[in-house]
Amino acid sequence: MIPELGYGAAIVALALALWGAVTAALGARTGRPALLLSAQHAAVGVFVLVTACFALLTYAFLTFDFSVRYVATNTNLGTPFYYRITGVWGALEGSIILWAWMLALYTVIVILRHRVSARAFYPWVLTVMLGVLAFFLLVMTVAAPPFARSSPVPADGRGLNPLLEDTGMITHPVALYLGFTGLTVPFAFALAALITGRVGDAWITLTRRWTIVAWYFLSLGLLIGGWWSYHVLGWGGYWAWDPVENAAFMPWLTATAFLHSVMIQERRRMLKLWNLSLVILTFGLTLFGTFLTRSGVIASVHAFTQGAIGAFFLSFLALVLLTGLGLLAWRWDALHAQGALDSIVSRESAFLLNNVLLVAVTFTVFFGTVFPLLSEVARGVKVSVGAPFFNQVNVPLFLALIFLMGVGPLIAWRRASLDNLRRNFLAPVLVGVVAAAGFFALGVRSAIAVLTLALTVFVAATIAVDFARATRARLRVGERLFPAMRGLLLRHNRRYGGFVVHLGILIIAVGVTGSQAWSVQTETTLRRGESAELAGYRVRFEDLTASEESNHFKVAGAFTVSNGRVLGVLRPAKKFYPQEQSPIAYVDYRLGLNEDIYLVLGDFARDGSQATVKLLVNRLVSWIWIGGLVLTLGALLAILPERRKGA
Amino acid sequence: MRPKFIVGGIVIAAALAYMIYAGVTQSAVYFVTPAELRASAVAGKAYRLGGLVVPGSLTWEPRTLDLRFTLGDGTATVAVHHKGTPPDLFGEGRGAVVEGTWSADGYFRAGLILAKHSEEYKAPHDASAAGYRELIRTLQGAGR
């Protein structure tokens, strides 16, 4: 009964979404309010129905309704309550529901917020959003139906992928999807701007905060993904340039570019075409990412024909890109710039270069990710490029971006005078140079590490210079120190939120540099009582214990960690899930500001007499999580409504 | 000003193209089967070799972490040497992909082993649970 209800709800929701998309468009053409009202009702109806689908699937999970195939493959009687709820979006079908639900939620918020404030765009925005929603509902009803029956009904389910039994894996997709779906809003406004011919900056002003919100969630999703990779997967790293990661990283890069380039349009009336293209590209990349990760195309081009999902997403992606390009061509004449670049040494060109570099990184990531497919199609041999490729090509681009992060926000618009440059950059450059010498004196010998660290110091100094100057200006008019600083952050929250985000990126850059340059690892087999040493740590194998948990068996080693004094006992383990062919490693670690000590249990003797352990000392990895926190706080600050009066 | 920006754009595009080209040539990894590797192995070139771990060929020495096995594809076999713990999904008769280089001494030196995950549905059965309980008993007995 439940599955039929869910399936029915999805079909009605699909019909309503299509109806709403069409009536909103007709309403826009004819100007008849009744049509628009009908579209609005349809959108609310879709939201209610998708919510119902979501609730029904959750109910099926909680009641172990194994007659639903999706439930049977993603849960079993041993799955803890908590993970039965989150298992709902643990695989493809459920994540499509989650996606559709968020999109419907955003649509309702758009109706509430922009019904009046964006009257000119609003009907078309509704059309686009409901159109995209209809696509996901189509996937939900045809290509990946979550309520499909399993026959015969199994006595027990297969169980959730054990790697997903983790808080990170619950929040990671939620944040990421909120980011992906959030990007639909600026996309819808961009299309509405093109359709109505209002390609000025009204659509940008209206979607500014939407883009930051989406960017915030996307960043959060990527960071949580990195944390999950680090503390669950047990390879000691946080980013592998895996296609799944790249799929989420690409829209983040173009969204970042967009956040910067809109400032040039607002200020100088330039880059209209570029901004519209970036938004369309960003939205396209969210679809491409889903296509890439869900179609199996990465394993082989031939895998993609096996499921319907790949074809669905590829067709929709083609539709989106063709529509976007068609509209851009149609409005071509209205898209020329009103302002012009005056000088290479100006804020415009710094931002432009930032955009070019971000798109270059996107292209590199795209190229590296699809390279195996290209070579398979073109030459019949499968050739892949791994992490070394991405690092080698991207590191110079990232360094240039960090440099621009220091230059862009402070350099003058139009044409920077020598005086402007000296006033803003002389001190930071000197500080950066001194820092480079300092790091070298401290024994840092890797050129890339010295350069990165010196650049981060330079950028941090530019931020300090700007903040100090602005604070001083406020002190001069009689404000006191802390109210002055608070006022700056809150009144110019977009600018200073941006600076805080930049600080977060700098801290992450330090963490990445440190972990790449100075992490060490070793692997060894220890008999009971024996010790291994690495980087000043001593790890002693005490014993091996086994236990039976609710849905798995666990073999854990106890290792005493000391560096002169005893720091504690780490218990890395192997978990054996009956439904899995092989055990899952469970890492144990001790995090620190400077270094983490990280243990992975490899093999062990069945009598407990010896164990093979991988021992890693990872440097500065915590900075990545701290930087991530700073970054998200900065984004939140930038999302706050602007309280600035006048300029 | 315009020509300057166009020249700048071309320079950036050319630099990027060169970096990508250099990156690809330096880090390309070729996917091969044991037969293909046998036919045209170049010492020092990076390969990703996929095949089946030939039953009876696997040896692992925990103290030295020396892992040796033979990968086969039905027509040819390749001896593989690796230093490290066999990964969780790895075993005789199972598919495995290894990444590394061909050594002039006639074996494949693997830096990385990627065991192949079979997606097939496997119903939980009591035999494996019994095996794990046995393991728990052994460890508890040996624990003290």
Give B109's pLDDT tier (boundaries 50, 70, 90).
Answer: very high
Task: Please tell me which residue of chain A has the smallest CA distance to B144.
Answer: A543
Which residues of B are less than 8 Å from A359 in CB distance?
none
Residues of A in contact with B84 (CB under 8 A): 523, 602
The 3-class secondary structure across A407-449, one letter per residue, is HCCCCCCCCCCHHHHHHHHHHHHHHHHHHHHHHHHCCCCCHHH
B136 contacts on A by Cβ (under 8 Å): 546-548, 553
- Average pLDDT, integer, range B70-80: 91
| Angle separating helix axes A272-294 and A347-379, nearest 10 degrees | 40
Inter-chain residue contact A382 with B24, CB threshold 8 Å: no
Looking at beta carbons, which residues of chain B come within 8 Å of A345?
none
Could you tell me which residue, A376 or A391, shows the higher pLDDT?
Answer: A391
Question: How does residue B140 score in pLDDT terms, banded at 50, 70 and 90?
Answer: low
Percent of chain A with pLDDT over 90: 64
Q: B138 or B26: whose pLDDT is higher? A: B26
Angle A89-A95-A96 (CA atoms, 0-180°, nearest 5)?
150
Contact state of A578 with B129 under an 8 Å Cβ cutoff: yes
Query: Which among A363, A386, A396 has CB closest to B29?
Result: A386
Query: Cβ contact (<8 Å) for B19 and A393?
Result: yes
Percent of chain A at pLDDT above 70? 97
**Chain B: closest CA distance from residue A264 (Å):** 16
CA of A287 vs chain B CAs: smallest distance (Å): 25
Tell me which of B46 and A619 has the higher pLDDT.
Answer: A619
A608: left (phi > 0), else alpha (psi -120 to 50), else beta?
A: left
pLDDT for the residue numbered A542? 95
Among the partner-chain residues B88, B118, B136, the one whose CB lies closest to the CB of A583 is: B88
Whether residues B122 and A393 touch (CB distance < 8 A) is answered with no
Reference A84, options A113, A68, A61; nearest CA is A61
**pLDDT score of B115:** 65
Q: What is the nearest CA distance from A235 to chain B, expressed in angstroms? A: 11
Region B1-30 average pLDDT? 86
Nearest-by-Cβ selection for A392 from B8, B26, B128: B26
What is the 3-state secondary structure of B38-99? HHCCCECCEEEEEEEECCCCCEEECCCCEEEEEEECCCCEEEEEEECCCCCCCCCCCEEEEE
Yes or no, beta carbons of B1 and A341 under 8 Å apart: yes
Tokens at B123, concatenated? 């119903």
Check whether A334 has a pLDDT greater than 70. Answer: yes
- The structure's pTM equals 0.92
Question: Which is nearest to A219 in space by CA: A170, A271, A190, A255?
Answer: A255
Higher-pLDDT residue of A223 and A87 is: A223
Residue keyed to tokens 């960690």: A561
Handedness of CA A304, A306, A309, A311 (dihedral sign): positive
Query: Binning pLDDT at 50, 70 and 90, where does residue A498 land?
Result: very high
Q: Which residue of B2, B4, B18, B20 to mutate against A (max A Cβ within 10 Å)? A: B20
Q: Is the pLDDT of residue B123 over 50?
A: no
Partner residue opposite A383 with nearest CB, options B16, B30, B125: B30
pLDDT at A252: 97
Q: How far is B12 from chain A (nearest CA, A)?
A: 9
CB contact under 8 A, A523 and B133: no
Q: Are the C-beta atoms of residues B20 and A385 closer than 8 Å to each other?
A: no
By CB atoms closer than 10 A (0-12, 13-18, 19+), residue B11 is: exposed
Of A371, A579, A608, the CB nearest to B142: A608
- Cβ neighbours of A363 in B, within 8 Å: 16
Q: Say whether pLDDT at A481 is over 80.
A: yes
Taking 90 as the threshold, does the pLDDT of residue A338 lie above it?
Answer: no
Q: Look at B1 and A607 and tell me if their CB atoms are within 8 Å.
A: no
Q: Is the pLDDT of residue A305 over 90?
A: no
Continuous H helices in A166-236: 167-182, 184-196, 202-232
Which of A179, A180, A50, A39 lies closest to A115 in space, CA to CA? A39
pLDDT of A536 = 93
Contacts of B85 in chain A (CB under 8 A): 523, 602-603, 612, 614
What is the model's pLDDT at position B42? 85
Please judge whether B123 and A579 are an interchain contact, meaning their C-beta atoms are less than 8 angstroms apart. yes
Residues of A in contact with B117 (CB under 8 A): 581
Average confidence (pLDDT) over A282-296: 88
- CA nearest A579 in B: which residue? B124
Binned at pLDDT 50, 70 and 90, residue B124 comes out as very low
At A329, the pLDDT band (50, 70, 90 cuts) reads very high
DSSP state of A642: P
Distances (CA, A) of A416 to A79, A210, A412, A463: 62, 32, 5, 18
Q: Which residues of B touch A367 (CB under 8 A)?
A: 20
Residue A40 has, within 13 A of its CA and on its CB side, a CA count of: 17
* pLDDT at res. B136: 64
CB contact under 8 A, A553 and B121: no
* Percent of chain B with pLDDT strictly greater than 90: 31
Task: Write down the pLDDT at residue A335.
Answer: 85
Give residue-wise pLDDT tens across range A138-190: 999 998 899 998 888 888 888 887 878 777 778 898 999 999 999 999 999 99
The partner residue sitting opposite B122, judged by closest CB among A579, A583, A602, is A579
Q: Give DSSP secondary structure letters for A226-252.
A: HHHHHHHS-SS-S----HHHHHHHHHH
Q: In the predicted model, is pLDDT for residue B117 greater than 80? A: no
Which helix (H) or strand (E) segment holds residue B28: the answer is strand B28-32
Residue B132: list chain A partners with CB under 8 A.
546, 548, 553, 576, 578
**What is the per-residue pLDDT for A419?**
86
Q: Tell me what the mean pLDDT of segment A607-619 comes to.
A: 93
Give me the residue spans of the domains in chain B. Answer: 26-135
Contact B20 A367 (CB under 8 A): yes
Which residues of chain B lie closer than 8 angstroms to A371, CB-CB? 24
> Quick one: pLDDT at residue A526?
95
Cβ distance B132 to A553 less than 8 Å, yes or no, reads: yes
Average pLDDT over residues B123-142: 58
Residue A136 has a pLDDT of: 96
Among B86, B121, B135, the residue with its CB nearest the CB of A603 is: B86
Mutate to test the interface with B, among A577, A582, A610 (most CBs of B within 10 A): A582
Q: Where are the domains of chain A?
A: 392-518+629-639, 520-623
CA nearest to A602 within chain B: B85
Q: Are B44 and A388 in contact (CB under 8 A)?
A: no
pLDDT of res. B125? 46
Taking contacts as CB-CB distances below 8 angstroms, the residues of chain A near B140 are 545-546
Question: Which residues in B lie closer than 8 A to residue A343 (C-beta atoms)?
Answer: 1
Res. A12: pLDDT tops 80: yes
- Tell me which chain A residue has its CA closest to the CA of residue B60: A603
Residue B26 has pLDDT above 50, yes or no: yes
Question: Average pLDDT, stretch B94-122?
Answer: 77
The count of C-alpha atoms lying within 13 angstroms of the C-alpha of A228, restricted to the half-sphere facing its C-beta, is 19
Q: Per-residue pLDDT tens for A517-572?
A: 999 999 999 999 999 999 999 999 999 999 988 788 999 999 999 998 999 999 99
Q: What is the mean pLDDT of residues A13-29?
A: 96
Q: What is the pLDDT of residue B7?
A: 86
Whether B62 and A371 lie within 8 Å, measured CB to CB:
no
What pLDDT does residue A269 have?
Answer: 84
CB contact under 8 A, A608 and B143: yes
Chain A neighbors of B67, CB-CB under 8 A: none
CB pairs under 8 A between A and B: 142
**pLDDT value of residue B122:** 43
- At residue A249 the predicted structure's pLDDT band, cuts being 50, 70 and 90, is very high
| pLDDT in the model for residue B120 | 39
Assigned CATH topology for domain B26-135: OB fold (Dihydrolipoamide Acetyltransferase, E2P) (2.40.50)
Per-residue pLDDT tens over the stretch A570-605? 999 999 887 777 788 899 999 999 999 999 998 898
What pLDDT does A643 receive? 63
Average pLDDT over residues A410-414: 87
Interface test with A, best of B1, B139, B140, B144 (most A CBs within 10 A): B139
CATH number of A520-623: 2.60.98
CB contact under 8 A, B26 and A389: yes
Q: How far apart are CA A351 and CA A362, in angstroms?
A: 16
